[in-house]
Amino acid sequence: MTQIINIPALAVTAPSGGGKATICQEISKLHSKIIMPPSTTTRQPKKEIHGKRYNHVSHRQFETLIQAGYFAEWNKYDSSSAECGYNYYGISKEAIEECLFSRAQDELLLLELDINGYKSLKKLYPHIYGVFLNVDYDERKRRLEERNSEEERERNVRLNIGNLECLEAQNIYSAGLMNKIIEYGFGVDRAQTAKCIFELCY
């Protein structure tokens, strides 16, 4: 039996330093019932409540979950702070489908993803609205340097990957009515940008 999707779903994507977390925070101010399913990650906890924004597991546990088909999307990222040199991030199918099929109709599922995560999700849930925040190299570099959460080598890798993602986005997000590229560079008002994105779903 086909399950009925109860709520709209919006995926905000951007290259590293593109500001997707900030925009998601702004979108959350526009709707009283935003749902953001927790990500599963192997990185060390910061000052977070386990299970709220992130579920923290070991690398071995994560790889077992991959083999079991647990994730709707997952990725591996280089990390100088990880003992093995990388960390995994992913969102489970269960977390997303619990939102899509079991929640009240006045809620909004909001996802913060990279471009690979969006491609994976779109295959499983083609109705999801996708927005890519297009940010130029200099602005992404400035934001990452300001954030100062990675070493310079890792930061440069993220910037170079971001260049490729911005090129790829021109093809992925130009197709269909449920994909859109938003310019979000220096000086662009984040509240207004969030409002424009939010209105795609309503």
Tokens of 104: 């009240």
Q: What is the pLDDT of residue 161?
A: 92
Q: What is the pLDDT of residue 63?
A: 97
Q: What is the pLDDT of residue 4?
A: 55
Place of tokens 């979000």: 184
| 9-201 CATH | 3.40.50.300
Q: How many CA atoms lie within 13 A of 37 on its CB side?
A: 24
Pair 108, 202: CB distance under 8 Å: no
pLDDT in tens, the chain (202 residues): 345 566 789 999 999 999 999 999 999 999 888 999 999 999 888 776 665 788 999 999 999 999 999 999 999 887 777 778 889 999 999 999 988 887 767 889 999 999 999 999 999 998 889 999 999 999 999 999 998 877 888 889 889 999 999 999 988 886 665 788 988 887 889 999 999 999 887 7
Q: What is the pLDDT of residue 137?
A: 93
Q: What angle, rounded to 10 degrees, do the helices at 152-172 and 137-147 form? A: 140
Q: What is the pLDDT of residue 172?
A: 86
> Whole-prediction pTM value?
0.86
